[in-house]
Structure 1
Amino acid sequence: MTITLITGANKGIGFATAEHLTSLGHTVYIGARDAERGREAAASIGARSVHLDVTDDRSVAAALAEIDASEGHLDVVVNNAGIQEIGMDGPTALRAFDTNAVGIVRVMEAALPLLRKAANPNVVTISSSAGSFWAVTNPDRVESQLTNALYAASKAAATMLTLQYAKANPDIIFTALEPGYTDTDMTAAFEGGRSPRDSALVVARFATLDPGAPSGTFQDEDGRLPW
C-alpha cells in the first residue's frame, strides 16, 4: 500500500491531487490546518485526515507521529501548503516564508525517517516559475511582468530546498514543481486558470516516479525548467 501525505489538501490543487491519488489506490492523508475541514474533505473522497499546520512545529511532529503509529512508513509527501501574501513589510515577509519555505523544512525533517523506510520514496514540492530567475528575467515569459516579491522569493527558496534535500538524501526522489496556472482561492483575484484537477494530474505524475528518476529538479508538465 502506498502511503501519501499531502499538506494543505482540504481544497484546491492539494485536494484534487488527494482525490486522484486515492483513485489510484494510495492511502492518502489530507493534512489540513483546520482539522474539521480536513476531516470533511477526506471523508468526501475516501481518504484519511491529519491535523497539520506547517507553521507549527508541534503540529507537524504530532501529525507525522500519528502517521508513523498507523502506517510505519511514508511513500510520498506532497508539500502543497502555501500562501500568497500581498504587501512588503517584515510581518508579511515572515508569514510568507514561514509557510512557503520554513513549512517545508518542518514537514521534511519530521517525514524523512518515515520516507527512509519506503521502497520508492517521492517528495513533490509545489513551487512556482515566479521564483525562477530565468523566467522572471525573460521578457517572453509572463513571470517577467509579475511583481509579487515575497511570493516569488519564498518559492525560489522552496525550489532551492528541493535541491538541497535531494543532495542530502540520494535515495529519495525530490521534485520542485510548477503545477501550471490554476483556478484556486490563491488566484481568485486574477483571471483565468485551469481546473485544479488538471494540475493535480501533473502533481500525481511526479509523485509516482519510478526509482532512478532524476532528483533535485525543477519541472513543469512539459519537462525540466531552468532556474
Structure 2
Amino acid sequence: MDYETKVRSEVEIWKRKLIKRSSMVKRLTEKAQGKLNQFIPEKAHQLITESIKKMIQTTLFGSDFLTKKRDTTALSLEEKEKLINEKLGVYKRAAAVEGAGTGAGGILLGLADFPLLLSIKMKFLFEAAAIHGYDTSKYEERLFILNIFQLAFSSDEHRRNVLSIIENWEQEKVHLMDVDWRILQEEYRDHIDFIKMLQLVPGIGAVVGAYANYNLLDQLGETALNAYRIRILDNSTKRIENE
C-alpha cells in the first residue's frame, strides 16, 4: 500500500470518529454551558468576544512573524508529515511545561495560561502550514488555520459544519470574508472550560495543567494533520481528473 492510499484510509477513519456523536456526559456538559451562556449579559459576551478576537489576532500576526519560512517542495507528503509530527512533539512538551507552571501558581497564573496556550497552538498551526508550503501571509491561509482551530475545539454540530468547509475549501474560501468571532470564542471556551477550571484548584493544578495542555495539543495536531490531508488529497484528485 502506497502512502497516499494509506493516508486516504486514515482520513476516512478520522472523519467518522470526528462526526461521531459525543458521549452523554459531554452532551449534558455542552447543554449546561449553553444554558449558562444565556444568563451572561450581552455586554459581557461582547467583551469576551472582543478580548478573544484581539488575543487570537495578536497570535496570528506574531506566529507569522516568528515562523521560519522553508522550501519543502521537494519533500513527499510522508516526509512533510514526519516533520510536522516532530514539531508537534516539541509543542506538546512546551504546552505541558507551561500548563504545569501556571497550574502550580494558583488562580492568577492559571488565568495567564489561556493566552500562553493559545499562542503555542497558533505557532504550531503556522509551522504545519509552512511545512506544507502554504503562504501564511495570505488572508485565506489564516482563515484556513482558524477553521482547523475551530474543528479541533468545538461542539458536535459546529464541528460538522467546519469539516464541510474544509472538505470544500477551494469553493468555500471565496465566500468566507471573515470569522464569526462570537461563535469561535463560545465554542472554544465551552470546549475547554471544565478541564481548565480544574487547573485552578490548589494541589492538583500543576498535574491537571500539564496533562490538559499536552492532550489539547495532541488533539490539535491530529486535527491539523488530517485537515491538510483533506485539502492536499482533494487537490491531487482534481489534478488527476484534469490530466
- Length-normalised TM-score, structure 2: 0.27
- Which structure carries more helix by proportion? 2
Q: Which is greater in Rg?
A: 2
Q: Which has the higher contact order (CA 8 A, sep 6+)?
A: 2
- Length-normalised TM-score, structure 1: 0.28
- Which structure carries more strand by proportion? 1
